[in-house]
Amino acid sequence: MALTKQYEERTTELLAPIISENELELVDVEFVKEAGNWYLRAYIDKPGGVTIDDCELVSRAIEKKLDEEDFIKESYILEVSSPGLTRPLKKPKDYERNIGRLIDIRLFRAVGGRKEFTATLTAYDDQTVTVTDETGETVLERKNISLIRQAFTE
């Protein structure tokens, strides 16, 4: 297993009680290198959205645990934030939350002559995503989806 994956998994484990105690949802954890710097990012959410106070609370609590465990050898910048309105759908609960809603999808390979869809999410499973738009129902292979997220409408 790649070291970055290990860091993400251990951080997720450390975050679990903090998230639970504060009635938050852990959307994602990522350890990535950007412009020469390593970033450890935790994305949190809750019904109605997270506040800066929520992010600060989680940041302080996880920072203390990360310092105690000291399992990340690289220097990094810790960020705790909301995933934003247009976050990608990654977990089953993300898909479940968006059943019946408009989503934006980009594909690696065109299906029916299109590589981009804005359609209503009607079903999903481990292998496929089913959407409906003005052209009817389309079943897309998940391995062909480069991006899937809730559509942002004005």
Residue span(s) of the chain under CATH 2.30.30.100 come to 92-150
Pairing between strand 37-45 and 76-81? parallel
CATH class of 92-150: mainly beta
Q: What is the pLDDT of residues 60-86, one digit of tens each?
A: 999 999 999 999 999 999 999 998 877
Cβ–Cβ under 8 Å, residues 130 and 141 = no
Residue span(s) of the chain under CATH 3.30.300.70 come to 3-81
Which amino acid is present at 3?
Answer: L
* Chain centroid offset of residue 138 CA: 24
Tell if the pTM clears 0.75, that is, is over it: no
pLDDT given at position 1: 61
CATH class of 3-81: alpha beta
Cβ–Cβ under 8 Å, residues 83 and 27 = yes
d(CA 127, CA 134): 23
d(CA 141, CA 104): 15
